[in-house]
Amino acid sequence: MDGCPDCRPLASRNELEQVLTDVLDRTPILDLHTHVYSADFGDLLLWGVDELITYHYLIAEVCRAPHGPTPEQFYAMDKSRQAECIWQNLFVDGSPVSEACRGVLTTLSALGIDVNDGLGAARDYFIDVTVEQHIDRVLQLANVEAVVMTNDPFDALERPVWEADGCTDPRFIPALRIDGVLVFWEQNRPILESWGYEVSGQPDRRTFGEVRRFLSDQVRCMKPAYMAVSLPDTFAYPAQTPTAALIENCVLPVARETGTPFAMMIGVKRQLNPALKLAGDGVGKADIRAVETMCATNPDVRFLVTMLSRENQHELCVAARKLPNLMPFGCWWFLNDPSLIEEITRMRLELLGLSMVPQHSDARILDQLIYKWRHSRVVLHKVLTDKYDDLMATGWALTEEAVEADVTRLLSGNFREFVGL
């Protein structure tokens, strides 16, 4: 209060709730991890109702529905028929109560489509909509000022974009995805060789130098907000594995030299059911010691970390209390459900205060930005109301200006400051 003599303290929980509603609604978001693209990337940008309904969360759900298809039957259909299959099984034959189903309905409703009119009405909406119009509309409805993409240098469709003009829309921020080096080394080593990088089958000193050169080249080309990798639940560091060796000898030196943060998403149990393809991955509890050791032994490197298992969340928070170069972020994938987002966000606020990023969308379809952020704002409103109410009960003079500053930190400021945007 000393720094703002004209700021009036909030007088009640009711006033607090209204202020939070207004502040959360008007504060723009910087979404730090998505799989959406700018229009520069053509067909890599997924959008529209059929893409929305055939999201891989819903594929797994429809294949366990009472009268749903087998994975083989589902993937034998074209996209249009897949969408109709999901709509019939999950929206018509039963109430669409899952978070993935509710997300579809939230999105369609926000676009002005009556969700009771069926799939045909939703398809009609998109007939005359251009991708440029839709990008503007979705970002406006989600109140998202910018998103961080996932950019894979080994993607044959994406690479030509970077060899030309790159991303021309400043609302889409690059992130260098390096799974192709760290996780799929054997598949991609010949590609690196074909691009002129002298790498060998077994990582050695020369190979490490060439991989560092490749990563540095990509950082110069993309100017990414961070380098990122999705790692399995079995990930260990330090360890006698190619992944650990490449991180130690290539990723961390490049992160240090270029000032590029390193983001790790840990806990994927890949292809638990291979028949489901992209929808077939599972979750496993990881060993937090890998994160602790990497952050503690590299204090001059910044690490963004999210973990897929609920059981890892408390350990991650405690590690972040001790390691200032570690930024926990978001509730990823199987944790991106309101009940779990609420639990994890409460714990992070209680252990870390405002020094974390509560959420990211992980959206794969542009339209999902609408529902993922509308749903997350509701959860954040609930959690912050309780935390601020507890604060006010001590006699603390809480003002609207303080709430607005806090919310801005959580929705964009912490990430911007941590990665240097």
> What pLDDT sits at residue 200?
87
Among the listed residues 373, 358, 342, the one whose alpha carbon sits nearest the alpha carbon of residue 406: 358
Query: What mean pLDDT is predicted for residues 7-13?
Result: 93
Q: How far apart are CA 302 and CA 16, in angstroms?
A: 35
Asked if residue 390 belongs to a domain, the reply is no
Asked if residue 287 belongs to a domain, the reply is no
pLDDT one-digit tens code per residue, 205-260: 999 999 999 999 999 999 999 999 999 999 999 999 999 999 999 999 999 999 99
Query: What mean pLDDT is predicted for residues 309-315?
Result: 98
> What pLDDT sits at residue 7?
82
Q: How far is CA 382 from CA 12, 16, 24, 329, 332, in A?
A: 15, 11, 11, 19, 20
Return the CATH number at 68: 1.10.2020.10
Asked if residue 139 belongs to a domain, the reply is no
Residues 6+ apart with CB under 8 A from 368: 52, 55, 103, 107, 361
Q: Domains in the chain: how many in total?
A: 1
pLDDT one-digit tens code per residue, 336-360: 999 999 999 999 999 999 999 999 9
Q: Does residue 364 register a pLDDT over 90? A: yes
Q: How far apart are CA 385 and CA 14, in angstroms?
A: 10
Asked if residue 229 belongs to a domain, the reply is no
What share of the chain has pLDDT > 70, as a percent? 99
Q: What is the band of 1 on the pLDDT scale with cuts at 50, 70, 90?
A: very low
Among the listed residues 1, 19, 2, 113, the one whose alpha carbon sits nearest the alpha carbon of residue 403: 19
Among the listed residues 343, 217, 331, the one whose alpha carbon sits nearest the alpha carbon of residue 267: 331
Q: What is the band of 4 on the pLDDT scale with cuts at 50, 70, 90?
A: low
> What pLDDT sits at residue 246?
97
Q: Compute CA 195 distance to the chain's CA centroid, rounded to the nearest angstrom.
A: 30
Asked if residue 95 belongs to a domain, the reply is yes
Asked if residue 322 belongs to a domain, the reply is no
Query: What mean pLDDT is predicted for residues 24-37?
Result: 98
pLDDT one-digit tens code per residue, 89-124: 999 999 999 999 999 999 999 999 999 999 999 999
Q: What is the band of 366 on the pLDDT scale with cuts at 50, 70, 90?
A: very high
Exposed/middle/buried for residue 95 (C-beta within 10 Å: 0-12, 13-18, 19+): exposed
Asked if residue 54 belongs to a domain, the reply is yes
Asked if residue 368 belongs to a domain, the reply is no
Q: How far apart are CA 114 and CA 122, in angstroms?
A: 8
Tokens in use for 279? 């929808």
pLDDT one-digit tens code per residue, 313-329: 999 999 999 999 999 99
What share of the chain has pLDDT > 90, as a percent? 97
In terms of DSSP bridges, do strands 172-173 and 303-307 run parallel, antiparallel, or are they unpaired?
unpaired
**N-to-C CA span, the chain:** 30
**Mean pLDDT for all residues in the chain:** 96
Q: Does residue 75 register a pLDDT over 90? A: yes
> What pLDDT sits at residue 203?
78
Identify the domain containing residue 108 by its residue range: 49-125
